[in-house]
Amino acid sequence: MGLTIAQKIIQSHLVSGEMTVGSDIGLKIDQTLTQDATGTMAYLEFEAMGVPRVKTERSVAYIDHNTLQTGFENADDHRFIQSIAKKHGIWFSRPGNGICHQVHLERFGIPGKTLIGSDSHTPTGGGIGMLAMGAGGMDVAVAMGGGPYYISMPKMVRINLHGKLPAWVSAKDIILEVLRLLSVKGGVGKIIEYGGDGVASLTVPERATITNMGAELGATTSIFPSDEVTRAFLEAQGRGSDWTELSSDPDAVYDETYEIDLASLVPMAACPHSPDNVKTIDEIGKIKVDQVCIGSCTNSSYLDLMRVASILKGKTVHPDVSLAIAPGSKQVYNMLAQNGALADLIAAGARILECACGPCIGMGLSPNSHGISLRTFNRNFEGRSGTADGQVYLVSPETAAASALTGVLTNPQALGEESAIPMPEHFLINDNMIVPPAPAEEAGSVEILRGPNIKPFPTSGPLEETIAAKAILKVGDNITTDHIMPAGSKILPYRSNIPYMSNFCFAVCDKEFPERCRREGKGIVVGGENYGQGSSREHAALVPLYLGIKAVLVKSFARIHCANLANAGILPLIFKDKADYDAIDQMDELELPDIRGAIANHGKVIVKNVTKGTEFEAEAVLTDRQRAMVLAGGLLNYTRENN
Ligand code: MIC
Ligand code: SF4
């Protein structure tokens, strides 16, 4: 039987398990990446493992999230990461060099290789045919130490793209169409592979926009073939020798197949507050716009910003609109500066931000009260922009730029003829902001620089015989990691300070939650479908652990968050019968008798609702390895016990 692209990469990296859907597989990891908001914790965990040098082919530490530096905290963490990188064999991308996913695609990604990153948008690398997955910091630490990365073997989904996009419709509109079709949970447990004759018409940055936002489908990853377009991109990056061809076998078998006619697509937007709340621009109508933000790892490539510059050239941003633009990398920024496009953006009135995540993660540029913000980003979860009642619409760079000029949501197809933006034959290559690690023989003398913001991470003990705790919080469907552990400029600087962060846990849903946990000393969180969607931040598990959360009982989980809970030693459980969710009220007394025995022996997980006098069954969402991990009290304890 023929293989899909992903199955070929999995087969060549398989360390354990079998390639049958749902089985636990271990994969050899060739490359890792971290960013600073998850990196400090990941490197503290890496240090705790006691491995002197990374064992991957390439590991890169990026600084791109926490660049506001409103106090000493971020700068201290950056110095910590830089010194760790130097000592342990990791390349260091300095602040200002760009967003991890954009820079990794430009400078390090290689078709056919495996990559895990402590950021959920790591699948961006699928744009050049990498098997690139988001993971929790602990999993990245283990991979840096040479350990495999474990996932359950995903289903294979094929999306065939046919024909060519019409003028003014772009890659963002393709992925918004996929989100409309499949929803934010439609990709869970699946790898999305793109094929069909339309693929050849898409450049690598366009493909990367699509694989990037596959994270919003909940997919394990998304991937494009590696073809002549990929070769031309790598050659233009001076890395032609990294290219290999990669395609699926003609008789490859997919679990699901979808067809999209590119020519029939129109400009679209994801309306507040979910990336799958997709409507056409014309359906939404000419709503008044207060702010436009262009950038993020989804849409900040050279081609994206050249398109924006060509729309804004010689014009002025509408007086009621604030337009901010963050180029994705120093390479992009520098090229725009050299060819004059930057001058066009500045002249039009754009507020140019540094090459970083910026407003995408609420680091500045929060919209006004009730403000409508059009963003070329990938997430519009409630409150993520930093303004609780901000209304964020996710759009293409073309729609964003057109609307910035008119002051109302505008279909860019109204702009007339679209000018051609050619893919450069040579990108500007200058890696002077990427610091290589110290040679192994000098590593011993590198001092690790630790600031006072770094506090020890919480540890957990072995799983108790019986868990008895209240349903300390009950939430609904699609709870995101931004609900569980918000980011933004006030909280993000404290990613290495779990005690401080705990004051904000679930703040979006219930401000009393941290206080209640402290009073009760322990608790069980109850939730609906797709619990933990969004970010890979393991803080959404470590902070609840610190607050005494013993188990999370929901209808279904998002992949990375579920793994992060197990890594932290918190028990992830799903209702066997989803109707049992309705019968639990917040603060009901719950009991999981002999839970240790049930986890160890694959026994029935019984949940007693002591308050209501009822009882029902739940299931642990754990592989055999994760069972051992939870019994030991998390991945670090498990690794220590098994070394
Ligand atoms: C995000 O887009 O939510 C982030 C910030 O990049 C996160 C990582 C983090 O929380 O640090 C992600 O996507 O994994
Ligand atoms: Fe950064 Fe936003 Fe991309 Fe996350 S989604 S990596 S915050 S640009």
Mean pLDDT by 10 residues, the chain (643 residues): 97 98 97 97 93 97 95 95 98 98 98 98 98 98 97 98 98 98 97 98 98 98 98 98 98 98 98 98 98 98 98 98 98 98 98 98 97 98 95 98 98 95 97 98 96 87 97 97 95 94 95 98 98 97 97 98 98 98 98 98 98 98 96 91 78
For residue 537, the ligand closest to its alpha carbon is 1
Tell which atom from ligand 2 comes closest to the C-alpha of 300: 8
Q: What are phi and psi of 468, to 5 degrees?
A: -130, 115
Q: How many CA atoms lie within 13 A of 134 on its CB side?
A: 35
Task: Give the whole-angstrom CA distance, residue 335 versus residue 434.
Answer: 18
Q: In what order do the strands lie in the sheet with 114-117?
A: 131-134, 114-117, 31-34, 58-62, 91-93, 434-435
SS (H, E, C) 207-263: HHHHHHHHHHHCECEEECCECHHHHHHHHHCCCHHHCCCECCCCCECCCEEEEEEHH
Mutate to test the pocket of ligand 1, among 38, 116, 296, 298 (most ligand atoms within 8 A of CB): 38
Say if ligand 2 is within 6 A of residue 361 CB: yes
Q: Whose CA is nearest to atom 6 of ligand 1?
A: 119
pLDDT attached to residue 398? 98
Tell which atom from ligand 1 comes closest to the C-alpha of 119: 14
Mutate to test the pocket of ligand 1, among 102, 375, 536 (most ligand atoms within 8 A of CB): 536
Say if ligand 2 is within 6 A of residue 121 CB: yes
Mutate to test the pocket of ligand 2, among 62, 354, 377 (most ligand atoms within 8 A of CB): 377
| Ligand 1 center–CA 597 separation, angstroms | 36
Tell which atom from ligand 1 comes closest to the C-alpha of 560: 14
Task: Give the whole-angstrom CA distance, residue 370 versus residue 319.
Answer: 18
pLDDT attached to residue 555? 98
Q: Whose CA is nearest to atom 3 of ligand 2?
A: 297
Question: Tell me: the pLDDT tens digits for 267-289?
Answer: 999 999 999 999 999 999 999 99
Q: In what order do the strands lie in the sheet with 14-16?
A: 14-16, 24-27, 149-152
Q: Whose CA is nearest to atom 2 of ligand 1?
A: 535
For residue 326, the ligand closest to its alpha carbon is 2
Mutate to test the pocket of ligand 1, among 361, 363, 508 (most ligand atoms within 8 A of CB): 361
Say if ligand 2 is within 6 A of residue 297 CB: yes
Task: Give the whole-angstrom CA distance, residue 101 versus residue 125.
Answer: 7
| Ligand 2 center–CA 99 separation, angstroms | 8
pLDDT attached to residue 640? 80
| Ligand 2 center–CA 100 separation, angstroms | 9
| Ligand 2 center–CA 211 separation, angstroms | 14
Give yes or no for a contact between 543 and 517, defined as CB atoms under 8 angstroms apart: no
Say if ligand 2 is within 6 A of residue 378 CB: yes
Tell which atom from ligand 1 comes closest to the C-alpha of 536: 14
| Ligand 1 center–CA 9 separation, angstroms | 26
For residue 483, the ligand closest to its alpha carbon is 1
Q: Which two tokens stand for residue 626?
A: 């994760």
For residue 496, the ligand closest to its alpha carbon is 1
Task: Give the whole-angstrom CA distance, residue 609 versus residue 438.
Answer: 57
| Ligand 2 center–CA 143 separation, angstroms | 22
| Ligand 2 center–CA 585 separation, angstroms | 35
Say if ligand 2 is within 6 A of residue 209 CB: no
Task: Give the whole-angstrom CA distance, residue 12 versus residue 565.
Answer: 29
Q: Residue 399 — left, alpha, or beta (φ > 0 → left; ψ -120 to 50 → alpha)? A: alpha
| Ligand 2 center–CA 357 separation, angstroms | 5
Q: How many residues does the chain have?
A: 643
Judging by beta carbons within 10 Å of its beta carbon (0-12, 13-18, 19+), is residue 319 exposed, middle or buried?
A: exposed
pLDDT attached to residue 544? 98
Tell which atom from ligand 1 comes closest to the C-alpha of 215: 13
Q: Which two tokens stand for residue 39?
A: 């990196």
Task: Give the whole-angstrom CA distance, residue 545 versus residue 548.
Answer: 5
Q: Whose CA is nearest to atom 2 of ligand 2?
A: 360
Question: Tell me: the pLDDT tens digits for 413-445?
Answer: 999 999 999 999 999 999 999 999 999 999 999
Q: What are phi and psi of 58, to 5 degrees?
A: -155, 125
Task: Give the whole-angstrom CA distance, residue 246 versus residue 12.
Answer: 13
Q: Whose CA is nearest to atom 5 of ligand 1?
A: 361
Query: DSSP of 117-135, one letter per residue?
Result: ESSTTGGGGGGGT-EEEE-
Give yes or no for a contact between 423 and 294, defined as CB atoms under 8 angstroms apart: no
| Ligand 2 center–CA 377 separation, angstroms | 8
**Ligand 1, CB cutoff 6 Å, lining residues:** 37-38, 65, 119-121, 134, 361, 487, 534-537
Angle at CA 252, nearest 5°, toward 227 and 250?
A: 55
Q: Identify the three-state secondary structure at position 464.
A: coil
For residue 535, the ligand closest to its alpha carbon is 1
